[in-house]
A and B are shown apart, each in its own frame.
Chain A
């Protein structure tokens, strides 16, 4: 079994596709981390990220398949699932054969799992657009911790950059230790390692109290339905919601 390894960047993944094509090899898997224990049946090849090679693949996908496919691929990459690299490889390989009509092949597993997974990522992005909850720190900085399933911080930032354009904010992905920083003109993605329970990040905020108060009063007591509430807003998101704090 032939396995390619890349460095967990999108460019790395595209370089793998490039190498597989030009080396005339057909890797069975494309993974982003080497297993601790190797076995003798697996031939492991590390692929070194090359921006030139990856940009060629990027351009080829956009021109020979479609812009939409490129979006799908990037979304699937963001899931950080173990199989995501392999799925992308098989999808692209099939795509170069089919061309622009690739996404019509929904009855093909290689296409369907990419489309479905991409939809899941967009779904989580959309859900978080609503559930990101900023805390005001001395009215100068707004800080929002999140723990998303997929790495969607980079997809969230443009939305808030155009919406909350006149305030400084940070969206902090605690699970991955990264943050999106915005300084009233542009946003950047960078590593961030702070504890959200930090006292400096938890000042008293009267609007937080007002919001909690509102949240309780807006529910109709005769129609309480926790099952529906949890279906729409899964409990894993509750940790950082202002209205759900004690």
Chain B
């Protein structure tokens, strides 16, 4: 099997890994070395599904010993199998990197022979890059659940980010679809990495030469819609992961039926909207100071399909609004629908020197279409509807007026049989003014 076919098989096998970011690390280039890491991360292309390509995302091998029902690489699946050697991966990475195609490597693998053996192969590839090629670009390595702690500790010193995928948000889900895995085996390496990061940060305060351990933190991934879990349990899980293990990101992936199994739900369309709502809520947790309990509760375990979580929260808590844009504190500004982190910061900056008018807000990038119902500006309320949650909800849901297009045929009604020329595009305008 030549390298072309291998790359084809192993990149196609890796595409269901959602993680794409290359941010959070500030690794510098070394003399005679190649590469560095950019704090903000850089996207290098966008594939046909609109997801960004930042890292070379491949599996080292897809010859898996496990048989998880949801996974495309499960042992009983009849698909082409391939394995890279660690050298091949390192060589590909360097050559892509030299052409500025990628920001670094995202290496993962199916479990070959045993978790320990797989982890050893992954470390070999990474060590080749770091030590032989003096590569200082971004590396994201998957920690294989069940691998020895010593190996994970060694890998952590070489890479920028590590991740352990939870995949299924509850223990029942795991029992049903991945009976060879359990929650403890997944949480354990996560806990280990998190404690090592804490320890490392502390050590680096005392000894300057200490090498960094997973400087860009760890992340994980959940499949949405393969089990019967509600949004609230998924969001609570994420919240706990952020708080307890200080994860950088939790990725959500809408379940795609890639294999069939009696325990898997039969769906036609992947739950993309649900995934989108979870991401919106995830951002609210991390950047907007929301708690999972505020967004959802037992009476409302799933997100609204029509409204985004923030607007939904604002309408349910309409008693807190309207707020005066020139006085309210930053934390509350962030909770107003239509105001994001950037516009909130701009408002806080600009109002230090002058009070803001309604028109100023538009210039600063506030989405007034949503914000106007929840704010006053210099004491005046511009929402027109009053503080009525039902009316505001309708106001937010109002669709844009339908644009006049060719498809709409406009004609003058007639009592005689039609003897007219087909309507032209100009007629659509004259139909409104009544001069047809």
Q: A residues within 8 Å of B by Cβ?
A: 101, 103-107, 109, 112, 126, 129-136, 142, 144, 159-160, 162-167, 207-211, 213-229, 231-233, 241-243
Contact = CB atoms under 8 A, between A and B. Distances in A.
Contacts of B15: 217-220
B29 A224 contact: no
Contact of B49 (A126, A142, A210, A224): A224
A223 B270 contact: yes
Interface stretch (B31-39, B177-185, B233-241, B421-429): B31-39
A130 B43 contact: yes
Interface of B: 3-4, 7-8, 11-12, 14-16, 28-29, 32-36, 38, 40, 42-54, 56-57, 92, 95-96, 98-101, 103, 137, 256, 270, 272, 346, 349-350, 352-354, 356-357, 360, 363-364
B53 A218 contact: yes
A104 B364 contact: no
B98 A142 contact: yes
A233 B270 contact: no
Nearest to B44: A130
B4 A220 contact: no
Contact of A166 (B34, B43, B46): B34
A109 B364 CA distance: 10
A192 B22 CA distance: 33
A226 B108 CA distance: 27
A218 B46 CA distance: 10
A85 to B, nearest CB: 22
A134 B11 contact: no
A141 to B, nearest CB: 11
Contacts of B346: 106
B250 to A, nearest CB: 19
Nearest to B363: A112
18 contacts: A103-B349, A106-B346, A106-B363, A134-B100, A135-B99, A162-B29, A164-B35, A166-B33, A207-B92, A210-B3, A210-B92, A215-B45, A215-B47, A216-B48, A218-B47, A218-B57, A229-B46, A232-B50
A19 B333 CA distance: 44
A228 B11 contact: no
Contacts of B137: 163
A129 B46 CA distance: 14
A104 B12 CA distance: 49
A231 B360 CA distance: 27
A243 B96 CA distance: 12
Contact of A105 (B7, B12, B95, B353): B353
Contacts of A220: 15-16, 49, 51, 256
Contacts of B48: 216, 219, 224-226, 229
Given A129-B42, A136-B99, A228-B50, A105 B354 contact: yes
Given A165-B33, A166-B33, A220-B256, A207 B96 contact: yes
Nearest to B272: A223
A207 B43 contact: no
Contact of A144 (B7, B52, B100): B100
A149 to B, nearest CB: 18
User: 9 smallest A-B Cβ distances: which pairs?
Assistant: A228-B50, A106-B350, A219-B47, A225-B50, A219-B48, A223-B49, A107-B360, A130-B44, A233-B46
Contacts of B356: 107
A133 B100 contact: yes
B98 A242 contact: no
A211 B92 CA distance: 10
A118 B101 CA distance: 27
Contacts of B11: 214, 217-218
Given A129-B42, A224-B49, 11 more contacts: A106-B364, A130-B42, A130-B44, A166-B33, A207-B95, A207-B99, A218-B57, A221-B49, A223-B270, A231-B50, A243-B45
B291 to A, nearest CB: 30
A163 B35 contact: yes
A231 B43 CA distance: 13
Nearest to A112: B363
A241 to B, nearest CB: 7
Q: Which of B96, B353, B354 has the most CB of A within 10 A?
A: B353
Interface centre among B44, B57, B364 (most CB of A within 10 A): B44
Given A104-B353, A130-B44, A223-B270, A211 B36 contact: no
Contacts of B44: 130-131
A58 to B, nearest CB: 25
B7 A214 contact: yes
A134 B391 CA distance: 55
A242 B8 contact: no
Contacts of B100: 130, 132-134, 144, 160, 164
Given A107-B364, A166-B33, A214-B11, A242 B350 contact: no
